[in-house]
């Protein structure tokens, strides 16, 4: 059995998810938009990134960081499709934030 490379995984994933198609049901899209890394995982990613910048990342840590990066990419693609499915463009999101900001007392 041969190993699948990260590049081919990405290509297969994009063909599978079809990120440019706005076809997620609204409930699923809203669910995906709520997904985020746990606080402990964000702390670990920051620790690994700091080690990478300083050149002290061990080989096992490189793999761990790559896994976090791949999962982050996966979440970005799914969330992009979710926003598209809900009709949420960046302009609409900014407008919603501005309206909410004006509606709240300072």
Q: Is residue 1 part of a domain?
A: no
Q: Is residue 93 part of a domain?
A: yes
* pLDDT score for 10: 77
Q: Is residue 19 part of a domain?
A: no
Task: Give mean pLDDT, residues 64-68.
Answer: 95
Cβ pair 16, 74 in contact under 8 A: no
- Number of structural domains (the chain) is 1
* pLDDT score for 3: 56
* pLDDT score for 93: 60
Q: Is residue 94 part of a domain?
A: yes
C-alpha of 84 from chain center: 14
| Rounded-to-integer distance, Cα 82 and Cα 75, Å | 10
Residue 103 has pLDDT above 70, yes or no: no
Q: Is residue 98 part of a domain?
A: yes
Task: Give mean pLDDT, residues 22-50.
Answer: 96
Q: Is residue 57 part of a domain?
A: yes
* pLDDT score for 69: 93
Q: What is the DSSP string of 5-67?
A: PHHHHHHHHHHHH-TT---S-HHHHHHHHH----HHHHHHHHHHHHHHHHT---HHHHHHHHH
Q: Is residue 56 part of a domain?
A: yes
Q: How confident is the model at residue 75 (pLDDT cuts 50, 70, 90)?
A: very high
Percent of the chain with pLDDT over 70: 75
Residue 106 has pLDDT above 50, yes or no: no
**82 lies in which domain range?**
25-103
Q: How confident is the model at residue 91 (pLDDT cuts 50, 70, 90)?
A: low
Cβ neighbours for 71, distance < 8 A, ≥ 6 positions apart:
37
* pLDDT score for 100: 56
Q: Is residue 3 part of a domain?
A: no
């Amino acid at each position: 059995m041969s190993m699948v490379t990260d590049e081919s995984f990405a290509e297969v994933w994009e063909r599978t998810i079809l990120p440019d198609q706005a076809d997620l049901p609204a409930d699923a899209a809203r669910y995906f938009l709520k997904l985020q890394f746990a606080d402990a995982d964000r702390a670990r990613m920051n620790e690994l990134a700091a080690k990478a910048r300083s050149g002290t990342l061990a080989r096992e840590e490189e793999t761990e960081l790559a896994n976090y990066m791949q999962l982050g990419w996966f979440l970005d693609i799914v969330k992009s499709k979710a926003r598209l499915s809900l009709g949420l463009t960046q302009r609409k999101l900014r407008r919603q934030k501005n309206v909410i900001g004006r509606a709240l007392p300072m």
